Amino acid sequence: MHRNGRLLHPAAWWLWALGLAYAAMRTNNAILLLAIVCVAGVVVSTRRGPAPWANAYSLLLKLGALTVVVTMLLQLLLGVRTPGHVLVHLPSAPLPHWAGGISIGGDVSAEAMLNAFVSGLRLAVLIACFGAANALAHPARLVRIMPAALYEVGVAIVVAMTIVPQLAESVVRVRAAQRLRGRRVTGLSGLRGILVPVLELALERAIALAASMDSRGYGRRAEQPPAVRRFAGGGVLLGLGAAVVGTYQLISGGGQRLGVGLLAGGTLVALAAGFVAGRRTRRTRYRPDQWRAAEWLVLGCGVLVALSYALAVHDPLAAGVALEWPPLRPLPFVATLVAALPAVATPEPPGLAPRGHAAVRSVQIAALEESVRA
């Protein structure tokens, strides 16, 4: 029994996961990638709440494994043939010239398969980081701490982000229900029996969401003159647009200075407009999340990982990895392990009933869900 446990501030967990995801973006070293997954798994296993969405990590871990398999399969069947240690020779079909660089079959090299595995693993790690953030703090809790001007945008993002976990949850529920009724849950006929109720559930959920949003005054502005409202909306839109263009500039390698300027300027304009819009909005929060020492620790771990990878990891991502065991990079590896510190150094989540008390547990889960929805 942990009576005085508490849920940490959602922003801390999301920033921590963002740090891990950034680290995964910077490397193609399999050891470091696996370290990130393991660290995220340890923290999730000890610090997730007792809610249904806390299974997001294992769900997305499975999706990540599927990603690795699909990437390797695509490489095997349709990949670009590069020279190397020939692993297997597939019968190749010569394609006409207009088919461009697409090749079918041919010599599949071990290097190509290894690199397909690593790139699939990178994607899987990114997905797992997203899953860890979801499991540790439901995105709906992020909406509560949104500035008022970004509230609508935030809700839209949350609805988009939770669609996959919610669909998966619906599928599980419908399958269980159909199995209890003694109907088939496999095969084509089983698929029909599952698909229709799932779509129905999604529609019902959307209607319920719309009703609850309407009842909570979603989209209404409190006593703001139209000019200020228009200015704030335009500012947010303009700022975010400039930030997107700046990001594109940075990624495409066009103008670095212009990209940074647009990104920073756009973010500033959006923040300023949001501040102006939010100043006169009256929105109260029920039991706001607190930011204490544990949150600083979690944030520090995320920043440490991101910083150490930014400074110490310079993998030539385009060149891929050589056909050999990945070398161990001590500094980023240790930094990644340090990111597991929140697993022991933060307060435990509340409401973890002792095992066996399923009824108590389900009541607690319901209470927790209610508190999140509020």
Partner 1 sequence: MTGAPDDRLRRARLTGARSARAVAAIALGGTAALGVPASPAAAAPTHVAIVVAGVGTACASAGGTGLTVVSSRFTVRTGQAPPYLGFVLTINDTGTLRPDSTHYWSYWHNTGSGWTYSTSGAGSYRPSAGTVEGWSFVNGSSSAPKPPRISYATICASSDPRPVTRPPAPTHARTSAAPRRSTAVPPAPHTSARHTLSARSPAQPRSTAHARSAARSTVPARRTAPTQNAVTPRTPRAKHNSAAPTSRAQSGPAATVALSDVPPVHPSSASAVPTIGAAAALVVLVALGGFAFWQVRRRAG
Footprint on this chain of partner 1 (rule: CB under 8 A): 28-29, 31, 34-35, 38-39, 41-42, 44-46, 58, 80-85, 100-101, 111-112, 115, 119, 253, 314-330, 333, 337, 340, 352, 355-356
Of 62, 58, 64, 63, nearest to 134 by C-alpha is 58
What's the closest the beta carbon of residue 253 comes to partner 1, in angstroms? Answer: 7
Residues 131, 21: Cα–Cα separation, whole Å: 11
Both tokens assigned to 264: 């920073």
Nearer to partner 1 by C-beta: 98 or 286?
98
Nearer to partner 1 by C-beta: 39 or 133?
39
What's the closest the beta carbon of residue 15 comes to partner 1, in angstroms? Answer: 21
Nearer to partner 1 by C-beta: 227 or 358?
358
- Phi–psi pair at 286, nearest 5 degrees: -90, 120
Nearer to partner 1 by C-beta: 35 or 143?
35
Residues 115, 326: Cα–Cα separation, whole Å: 12
All residues at 6 or more sequence positions from 165 whose CB lies less than 8 Å from its CB, including other chains? 53, 56, 59, 134
- DSSP 3-state of 155: helix
Nearer to partner 1 by C-beta: 218 or 248?
248
What's the closest the beta carbon of residue 254 comes to partner 1, in angstroms? Answer: 11
What's the closest the beta carbon of residue 139 comes to partner 1, in angstroms? Answer: 22
Contact 107, 86 (CB under 8 A): yes
What's the closest the beta carbon of residue 29 comes to partner 1, in angstroms? Answer: 7
Q: Which amino acid is at 345?
A: A
Nearer to partner 1 by C-beta: 79 or 193?
79
What's the closest the beta carbon of residue 155 comes to partner 1, in angstroms? Answer: 31
Nearer to partner 1 by C-beta: 60 or 273?
60
Residues 73, 113: Cα–Cα separation, whole Å: 9
- Name the helix (H) or strand (E) containing 6: none
Both tokens assigned to 71: 């990437």
Q: At what angle do helices 56-78 and 110-136 cross, to 10 degrees?
A: 160
What's the closest the beta carbon of residue 340 comes to partner 1, in angstroms? Answer: 7
Please report, for residues 93, 170, 351, the alpha-carbon distance to residue 191 in angstroms, rounded to integers and kept in the order given: 35, 13, 37
- Name the helix (H) or strand (E) containing 89: strand 86-93
Nearer to partner 1 by C-beta: 137 or 270?
137
Of 85, 81, 84, nearest to 94 by C-alpha is 81
What's the closest the beta carbon of residue 41 comes to partner 1, in angstroms? Answer: 4
